[in-house]
Structure 1
Amino acid sequence: MKKVIAAFNMTLDGYCDHTAGLPDEEIHQHYTELLGQGEAILYGRTTYHLMEFWRTFLENPSEEKSMNDFAKAIDKIPKIIFSHTLKNVDWKSATIANRDLKETVLELKQQSGNDIFIGSRSLIIQLMNLNLIDQYQICIHPVVAGNGLPLFENINDRTILKLVKTKTFTGGAVILYYEPKTE
């Protein structure tokens, strides 16, 4: 059975802000490799639109190879978009979900293949409340943003997690790998 993995970046003070992190070559390489191991990534409308930024690197490559490689990886992985307002997408590897989040994730988990990633804060919160996340890969950047959207907000129940692994980057970011603790 596939795992559903919440892979997300946040600041040291717990906020989600893609402009506050400090992505470097090493972090881009990590996420390029991670995306290469996935079956699909789930996005909400807002994050999907933010990720469209990477399409520009396909047409006009950067001088930084790691950014170009990440752009290719994000372009390649199938993206399933959950939105009540978005009616169509023009990214070839993206589709709009035709069922609700819970149904879609439960069906994906039953299929054979690689893991499913969740790349949107709103979807992480929803799936956490449904107890459908198998692993959290939270990359904490050594930045205090001071404000923004907290990653864990409006959570229904207390969730106890077990730390199963860590990965430290030379730039100071740390990925904490957690799995829900079963009692």
Structure 2
Amino acid sequence: MRKIIAAINMTVDGFCDHTAIIPDEEIHQHYTELLNNAGVILYGRITYQLMEFWQPFIKNPSGEKSMDDFAIAIDKIPKIVFSHTLKNTEWESAKLANRDLEEEVLELKKQSGKDIFVGSRSLIIQLIKLNLIDEFQLCVHPVVAGSGLPLFENINDRILLQLVKTKTFDSGAIILYYEPAGK
């Protein structure tokens, strides 16, 4: 059975704000490897549209190897987008979900293949509430944003996590790998 892995960047104070975090070459390389070893990534509309930033780098590489490699990885990974407003996706490797999140995820979990990554804050929150996340990969950057969108917003139940490993980057960012306690 495939695992559902919530992988997201955040600040030390718990905010998911892409403008507060500046990933370096090492972090781009990490996420390139992660995407190359994933089966599919799930996005909400907002994050999906933010990730469209990478599309031009496929035809017009930046010359920065880590960014260009990431652009290739994000381009080729299958993406499922959950949106009530999008009518289609511009990305060939993306499709709109045709079921609700819980049904889609339960069906994906049953299939054979590589793990399923969730890269949107809103989907992570919904999947936490459905108790469907098997692993959290929280990349905490050494930045205090002071405000923004908190990752664990509107979570009413206590969730115990077990730290299974860490990965530290030269920039001071650290990935905390957690599994829900008791899984």
Normalised by the size of structure 1, how large is the TM-score? 0.98
The SS at the match of 1:122 is helix
C-alpha separation in 2, matches of 1:122 and 1:156: 15
Q: Which residue of 1 aligns with 2:28?
A: 28
SS at match of 1:81: strand
Shift of 1:182: 1.1
What amino acid is the match of 2:127? L
Give the counterpart letter for 1:170 in structure 2. D
- Give the root-mean-square deviation of aligned CA atoms: 0.8
Partner of 1:13: 13
> Aligned-pair distance for 1:56?
1.5
Aligned residues: 183
Q: One-letter code of the match for 1:9?
A: N
Q: Which runs of 4+ in 1 moved over 3 A?
A: none
User: Any stretches of 5+ residues in structure 1 without a counterpart?
Assistant: none
TM-score by length of 2: 0.98
Q: CA deviation at 1:155?
A: 1.1
Cα distance, 1:21 vs structure 2: 1.0
Paired letter, 2:46: T
The residue aligned with 1:86 is 86
Distance of 1:36 and 1:28 partners within structure 2 = 12
Partner of 1:88: helix, strand, or coil?
A: coil
Q: Which residue of 1 aligns with 2:100?
A: 100
Give the 3-state SS of the residue equivalent to 2:132 in structure 1.
Answer: coil
Q: What 5-or-longer segments of structure 2 have no aligned partner?
A: none
In structure 2, the residue matched to 1:137 is: 137
Distance across 2 between alignment mates of 1:80 and 1:175: 24
